[in-house]
C-alpha cells in the first residue's frame, strides 16, 4: 500500500516520509524514532548528536560556493499525534502508518497520517541525503515531544546550535509564512468521589456521541466544530431532575491538542421513566444535530440499553461536576485586536474521564498574550474549584512574538511572490510552535515557519496534498539558494 506513496513526486521527500511512517513515534514514546534518526545521520557520515532530552541534531557542511552563507537551522518535530477511529483496529506501538492516495491527497486508513510534522522531517532528511542540492551549512534539529508539552524544545541547551536563521517546517497552509504563534498551558481538574451502590429499581443505558470531525485544537478552534465532551454533558445535565439519571462513568476525548470527537457514558435511570427518558433524549439529540448540521453533518448520538451498572456517582458530586462542565469555557475566548482574524485566546476541554471514584478533566488553554492565557486558565480554575476539584497548571510555554523586520521573512516573501505571482499570507497562528521556546535560548536567531497543505491534523481525517508538497519542496530548494551571507 505504501509503495504507491514512494512513487509520488518529489520522490526524495515521499520516500523519507514512508520510511519515517514505518516507525512508531507517539509523543513521549520516541525511543525508536530517535534511534532511527541517529542511525540516519551516522550512515550519511554526518556529525550526529542526541542531546540529554532526546533531540537529534545532524550537521551538514555547506556545498561548494555556499560557505560564506549564514548557517541555517532546519527544524521539525519527530513525534506525531496518535488518534484512530473507534472501529479501526490498529496498534500504534507496533504498526507503521498505513497510507493510500486519493486524488491529490495522501491519507491514512482510519488513523492520523503523521504529516504533522513528518513531512517537515522528511523534507529535512531529503536535503541532508542529497548530493546535488546547493545549500549553506545546515544544522538539522529534530525535536521530541512537541505535541504534548514541547519538552524537547524546552530542554535544548543554548550552546548546541550556531545557526543564524531557523526554518521551522511545521505550518499547514502552503501560502502562509508564519511569523508568530500562541503559547499554551495545560489545565487539569481532578477529584475523588464516593461511589454508591445502584438501587434495584434503576436500569442501565449507554450514551455515545460520535461522528464529529475533531481536529487541531489551535488551528481549528474557531471553526465551530462540535466538542464531544460538551455535547455529552448537555445530554446528561438535567437527567436527575427529569428521570433520576445517575452517572456511572464517562469516557470522552483524548489528547489535549485534539478537539474531542467521541464520548461514551454509562448511566442508570429510574425504570419507571424509561419511555420519558428515551423520548426526551431523542428530542434533545435532534436539536443538537440540527444546530451542528452544517459543521458536523455526521454527528451521531446513540442511546442503547445495557447492563445496569453496579455503582454510580455520589449525587452531589454529579450535580456539581455537570454544572462545572457546562460553565467551563470551551472555544474562542478572545480574538486579537491587533492582527485581523487571529484567535488570541481559546480553550479546549479535551478529556473527561469519570470512573471508579476518580474525576479527571484535561484542558489546553492557548493565547498569544500571556496575561490573557492566564486569565482564561484562572477562569477554568475557579469554575472547577467551586465544585470541589483540585486544579493544576502545567506545561506552560510561551508564544512567539512576530518580527515583521525579519531578514529571512523579506527574502521568502519576495521569493514566494516571484515564484507564484501572488503575495504570501504573512501571519501569526493560534497553534503552538516551538519557535517561541527556542527563541528563549537563541534570542538572536531569525525564525520563520512554513509548510505544505495539511488538513485535519490531529484527527483520523488528516491528509496531505500531493501538489502542495511539490510546491513546498521547490520553495525550500530556492530558499536555501538565497540565504544571505553572514
**Which residues form the catalytic set?**
79, 146
| C-beta contacts of 290-298 below 8 A and 24+ residues apart | 292/226, 295/213, 295/223, 295/224, 295/225, 295/226, 296/211, 296/212, 296/213, 296/225, 296/226, 298/211, 298/212, 298/213
Q: From CA 375, how far away is CA 366, in angstroms rounded? A: 11
Give the CA distances from residue 331 to residues 186, 222, 461, in Å, rounded to whole numbers and listed in that order.
Answer: 15, 7, 21
The Cα–Cα gap between 457 and 175 comes to 17
387: which 3 cell numbers?
A: 465544585
Burial class (CB in 10 A: 0-12, 13-18, 19+), 128: buried
Q: How far apart are CA 469 and CA 430, in angstroms?
A: 23
Which residues face 304 on adjacent strands? Answer: 206
Q: Is 186 left (phi over 0), alpha (psi -120 to 50) or beta?
A: beta
Residues 457-483 as b/e (b if ≥16 CB within 10 A, e otherwise) read bbbbbbbbbbebbbbbbebbbebbeeb
Distance of CA 465 to the CA centre of its chain: 18
Residues 191/388, Cβ–Cβ less than 8 Å: yes
Q: What Cα–Cα distance (Å) separates residue 73 from each residue in 13, 207, 213, 431?
A: 18, 50, 35, 21
d(CA 480, CA 466): 22
Amino acid at each position: 500500500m505504501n509503495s504507491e506513496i514512494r512513487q509520488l513526486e518529489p520522490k526524495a521527500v515521499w520516500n523519507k516520509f514512508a520510511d519515517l511512517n514505518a516507525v512508531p513515534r507517539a509523543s513521549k514514546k520516541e525511543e525508536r524514532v530517535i534511534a532511527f534518526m541517529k542511525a540516519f545521520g551516522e550512515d550519511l557520515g554526518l556529525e550526529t548528536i542526541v542531546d540529554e532530552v532526546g533531540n537529534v541534531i545532524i550537521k551538514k557542511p555547506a556545498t561548494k560556493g555556499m560557505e560564506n552563507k549564514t548557517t541555517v537551522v532546519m527544524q521539525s518535530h519527530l513525534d506525531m499525534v496518535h488518534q484512530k477511529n473507534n472501529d479501526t483496529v490498529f496498534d500504534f506501538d507496533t504498526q507503521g502508518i498505513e497510507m493510500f492516495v486519493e486524488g491529490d491527497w495522501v491519507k491514512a486508513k482510519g488513523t492520523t497520517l503523521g504529516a504533522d510534522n513528518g513531512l517537515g522531517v522528511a523534507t529535512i532528511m531529503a536535503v541532508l541525503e542529497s548530493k546535488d542540492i546547493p545549500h549553506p551549512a545546515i544544522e538539522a534539529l529534530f525535536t521530541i515531544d512537541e505535541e504534548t508539552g514541547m519538552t524537547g524544545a524546552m530542554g535544548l541547551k543554548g550552546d548546541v546550535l550556531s545557526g543564524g536563521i531557523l526554518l521551522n517546517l511545521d505550518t499547514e497552509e502552503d501560502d502562509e509564512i508564519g511569523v508568530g504563534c500562541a503559547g499554551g498551558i495545560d489545565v487539569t481538574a481532578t477529584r475523588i468521589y464516593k461511589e454508591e451502590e445502584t438501587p434495584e429499581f434503576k436500569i442501565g443505558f449507554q450514551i455515545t456521541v460520535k461522528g464529529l470531525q475533531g481536529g487541531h485544537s489551535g488551528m481549528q478552534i474557531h471553526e465551530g466544530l462540535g466538542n464531544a465532551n460538551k455535547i455529552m454533558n448537555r445530554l446528561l445535565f438535567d437527567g436527575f431532575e427529569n428521570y433520576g439519571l445517575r452517572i456511572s462513568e464517562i469516557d470522552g476525548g483524548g489528547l489535549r491538542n485534539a478537539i474531542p470527537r467521541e464520548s461514551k457514558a454509562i448511566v442508570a435511570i429510574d425504570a419507571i421513566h424509561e419511555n420519558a427518558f428515551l423520548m426526551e433524549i431523542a428530542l434533545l439529540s435532534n436539536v443538537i444535530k440540527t444546530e451542528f448540521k452544517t459543521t458536523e453533518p455526521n454527528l451521531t448520538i446513540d442511546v442503547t440499553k445495557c447492563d445496569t451498572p453496579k455503582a454510580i456517582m455520589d449525587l452531589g458530586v454529579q450535580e456539581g461536576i455537570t454544572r462545572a462542565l457546562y460553565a467551563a469555557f470551551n472555544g474562542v475566548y478572545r480574538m486579537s485586536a491587533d492582527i485581523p482574524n487571529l484567535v488570541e485566546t481559546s480553550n479546549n476541554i479535551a478529556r473527561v474521564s469519570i470512573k471508579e471514584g476518580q474525576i479527571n478533566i484535561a484542558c489546553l488553554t492557548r493565547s498569544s498574550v500571556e496575561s490573557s492565557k492566564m486569565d482564561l486558565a484562572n477562569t477554568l480554575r475557579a469554575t472547577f474549584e467551586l465544585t470541589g476539584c483540585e486544579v493544576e497548571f502545567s506545561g506552560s510555554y510561551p508564544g512567539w512574538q512576530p518580527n515583521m523586520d525579519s531578514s529571512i521573512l523579506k527574502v521568502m516573501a519576495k521569493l514566494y511572490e516571484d515564484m507564484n505571482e501572488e503575495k504570501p499570507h504573512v501571519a501569526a497562528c493560534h497553534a503552538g510552535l516551538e519557535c517561541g521556546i527556542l527563541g528563549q535560548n537563541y534570542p538572536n536567531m531569525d525564525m520563520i515557519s512554513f509548510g505544505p497543505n495539511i488538513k485535519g491534523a490531529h484527527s483520523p481525517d488528516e491528509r496531505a496534498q500531493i501538489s502542495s508538497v511539490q510546491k513546498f519542496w521547490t520553495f525550500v530548494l530556492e530558499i536555501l539558494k538565497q540565504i544571505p551571507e553572514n
